[in-house]
Amino acid sequence: MNRIALVICFVLLGAGALVHGATTHRWAVLAPAASLADQFHAFEVTVGDFQAESVPNDMPLKERSIGTTCRYFSPSRNATVVVALTSGPPGAVSTHTPDVCYPSSGYRTLRGPTVETIGLPGGEKVSYYVAEFEKKSATRTERHKVRWAWTADGNWAAPDRPRFAYLRVAELYKLYIVTPVPDGDSDGAAEDPPVVRQFVAATFAQYAGLFAGRH
């Protein structure tokens, strides 16, 4: 290998290392000066009589990302919703979506990812992915409807290629909102009941409000 080719190789390797270090916050000088992560992970959604309970986080995490999970239950409506939040470098948070994680954990995909839109209490709209999964055992059948979206600035979205859409942000947040699929809806075709739509809209709105200091 001649000297020019060797220099080019070192330059390319150095550039690759710099980009990777920036996206994973490995270089402290390129990391964000202030993070909302602590506030986000301590936050609890407030909707009607839903009560929050922290549960172990079983979402896969990559380098320097943080994950927390809360289960919400409404006694008056007998409704359960699980909210999982992941934050960290965009390269880590933009990947490992439910359509990959659930099948690798033994679930069958009932309905593949599609994009849905919901109106928020303030009049804004949010787009998010939704998919449905099922796992059967000898004693029971679990069916879950999973919604997910990302944000770096309070605007939740479901881009086609999140890894590239958020490549330049300093810190990325990914939100999962999971509800059980009712019995009799084996193909996941039924629309969400009003209580679920209210909770989903409130969750996106309240987490977005943290960016503007509204919560």
R_g (Cα) of the chain, nearest Å: 20
pLDDT at residue 3 above 50? yes
Report domain extents, the chain: 1-31, 33-211
- Residue 215 confidence class, pLDDT cut points 50, 70, 90: low
Q: Would the CA dihedral through 179, 180, 183, 186 be positive or negative?
A: positive
Residue type for position 121: P
Give residue 33's pLDDT.
Answer: 40
User: 92 in helix, strand or coil?
Assistant: helix
pLDDT at residue 54 above 90? yes
Give residue 196's pLDDT.
Answer: 96
Give residue 29's pLDDT.
Answer: 37
CB 32 within 8 A of CB 170: yes
Residue partners of 65: CB distance under 8 A and separation at least 6: 86, 87, 88, 89, 92, 93
Tokens representing residue 125 in the block: 């709209």
Distances (CA, A) of 193 to 1, 5, 147, 197, 205: 66, 63, 15, 6, 19
pLDDT tens sequence across 67-108: 999 999 999 999 999 999 999 999 889 988 999 989 988 999
Tokens representing residue 93 in the block: 């948070």
96/175 Cα distance (integer angstroms): 12
29/76 Cα distance (integer angstroms): 50
Distances (CA, A) of 162 to 76, 79, 89, 180, 214: 38, 31, 12, 26, 26
Give residue 30's pLDDT.
Answer: 43
User: 153 in helix, strand or coil?
Assistant: coil
Average pLDDT over residues 120-130: 93
Residue 34 β-bridge partners: none
Give residue 14's pLDDT.
Answer: 42
CB 195 within 8 A of CB 158: no
Tokens representing residue 137 in the block: 């055992």
